[in-house]
Amino acid sequence: MKLLIYNIRNWQDSQGESNVRRVLEVLREADADVIGLNEVLHPHPSPDPNLPALDYLARKLGMEAAFGPAFQPTNAFHLPEVMSGNAVLCRYPILASAAHHLTPVVNRQRGLLETRIFLPDDTAFTLYVTHLEPKREDVRVQQVRSALSWTVRDRGKPHVIVGDLNTYHPADFPDKDALAAFRAKAEARGFTFFQAQVIPLLLKSGYVDACASHPQPTWNRDDELWARMDFILLSEPLAGSVKACGVIDTPATRETSDHLPVLADVEM
């Protein structure tokens, strides 16, 4: 089964134009079975006037969709019913979904979308999609602990956490100079990392980094790839099940969003 996580930047490309068609083409080319999306506005206009963008993607890809609202955008151009959050597109039946709020709330509410997916072999697994606080590592740690209070119900069962975690994996910067350069650039823009704790906490909780053997940057800032911030994390029963994992880095993906999609092939 191919799993993908993608932050789609609120349906806007690097020029601030609608990227709905581009997102569709990226996803179609990736050919993933299960897709997690971050920074999804819903409902949002699409090329089909009768379908919101998320449902438009689902229709075009032949998938089912689920949406987990997190917060209401403050942009005056958004209608009152528009929410920002996480979403799932799935080639298999979605049995159930639920949106959970993460604490604490700093600036904006963050969420965790829980989706129960029925597989062709008559088994099921749970996909959790989240997007953590962008500025402060201490808040992200607390939000991860909040998320773990939900995922613990699947302890010992196959499940996956995917999302833009807005942090880095310490193992991705074994060179102190490279880490110092990254942190200096990030902190100049108001992102505070200090000591990265989120990924070590998730690994200590039993999760496996699907891309550990081939980590690649996913965050594209000022046309420069800065760091890996988008992750696919597998529960212990899925450890050793990764056949391949990598970033889709093409001119199309660099133009479509400020994050690159991450794709993993997992034996379920």
- Overall average pLDDT of the 188-201 stretch: 83
Q: How many domains does the chain have?
A: 1
Round to whole Å and give the CA distance between 4 and 15.
24
Tens-digit pLDDT profile for residues 58-96 = 999 999 999 999 999 876 466 778 999 999 999 999 999
Give the domain range for residue 218.
2-266
pTM for this structure?
0.95
- What spatial distance separates the first Cα and last Cα of the chain, rounded to whole Å? 7
- Tell me the CATH number at 38: 3.60.10.10
User: Distances in Å between the alpha carbon of 19 and those of 47, 98, 113, 118, 257?
Assistant: 11, 27, 23, 30, 8
At 167, is the pLDDT very low, low, confident or very high (cuts 50, 70, 90)?
A: very high
Extract the tokens encoding 10.
Answer: 């609120």
Tens-digit pLDDT profile for residues 120-147 = 999 999 999 999 998 889 999 999 999 9
- Overall average pLDDT of the 234-251 stretch: 96
pLDDT for position 223: 67
Would you say residue 192 has pLDDT above 80? no
At 160, is the pLDDT very low, low, confident or very high (cuts 50, 70, 90)?
A: very high
pLDDT for position 77: 61
